[in-house]
Amino acid sequence: MTSNGVHTDIVVPVSTAYIDWRRKLPLPHFGGVDSTYYYVAFGWGDRRFYMETPEWKDLTPGVAITASLWPTRTAMHVEYIRSKLIPTKRQRPLQITPEQYQQLITYIDNSFVQQDNGRYMHISGSGYSGQDTFYEAHGRFYLLKNCNNWVNQGLKSMGVRTAVWAPIPYAIMRHLR
């Protein structure tokens, strides 16, 4: 799991015996990614917030209020990560069983809107850099069901002890010591 202090992501290996994420997240959707990337990060959130706020300085009151108070459309932010992750206060590894990982795969997979061929519905021209992009996601975002709650639910889907409710990253990260 990773945190930027406001938002958390689920980070998993790009390819394992259980799934090769590149089959559903084709590298051509990511302008600067190749086969040397180790991990892929998943973050679920308000679609408009994601698209219109690449940096905090870009946040407008309208986007913030709408995302907080009204159930809004969602998107999945996906980022390929080249370097190995080093455990820190904001990057916490989690040792899980193969069964738990398969449950997490199912949780992540079910969060995406999928095409008939099983690939995720890509939002063309999206992303902040060549390592990330956005896909359509299921669910509605609002204050009580935010990005951190999505990660928290992913942990719960595997039976990992975590927060009852996780509106902020601390609620999740404190359980992953």
Compute CA distances 10 → 63, 66, 91, 172, 174, whole Å: 24, 25, 10, 11, 15
- Quote the Cα angle for 169-136-73, to 5°: 70
pLDDT in tens, 88-113: 889 999 999 999 999 999 999 999 99
Q: CA-based diameter of the chain, in Å? A: 45
Model confidence at 41, pLDDT cuts 50, 70, 90, reads very high
**pTM, entire model:** 0.93
**Minimal CA–CA distance to 11: which of 67, 90, 125, 70?**
90
Which pair of structure tokens corresponds to residue 130? 């060549």
135 near 120, Cβ under 8 Å?
A: yes
